[in-house]
Amino acid sequence: MAERNHKQDEAQSGQIDEIVASAVARALQAQIPALQGQIVQQVLEALPPQAGQTSAPGSASSKPLVHAVANIHAGTTKKKFAWLIGRRQ
């Protein structure tokens, strides 16, 4: 009987692990695109100006590029998380 209870506990634990992993993946999927955009923006702002550059990194003229790069990364990340969620279920 104790062995049976132990197996049930393990099965429930596995289900809980899958639920938690899925919830965490969904939460990260929602947050990572914005975080990536912020990281890219901060990195560009931290770079020293290059010779002949007309605007500083992170200026208004670079924002469309930053946004496009963040969107590319976000799409890749969403695919990875979708794969992870599908694999765990």
Per-residue pLDDT of the chain (89 residues; tens, 9 = 90+): 667 776 777 778 889 999 999 999 999 988 988 888 888 888 888 888 775 555 555 555 667 777 677 777 666 666 665 665 666 55
Domains: count for the chain: 1
Q: Phi and psi of 56, rounded to 5°?
A: -75, 150
How many residues can be counted in the chain? 89
* Host domain of residue 74: 2-88
Number of Cβ atoms within 10 Å of the Cβ of 66: 20
pLDDT at 45: 83
Question: Residue 58: which of 70, 40, 83, 75 has the closest Cα?
Answer: 40
Name every residue whose Cβ is closer than 8 Å to that of residue 44 and which is 6 or more positions away in sequence: 57, 58, 62, 66
pLDDT at 85: 61
In angstroms, the CA 4 to CA 6 distance is 5
pLDDT at 22: 93
Does the predicted TM-score (pTM) go above 0.85?
no
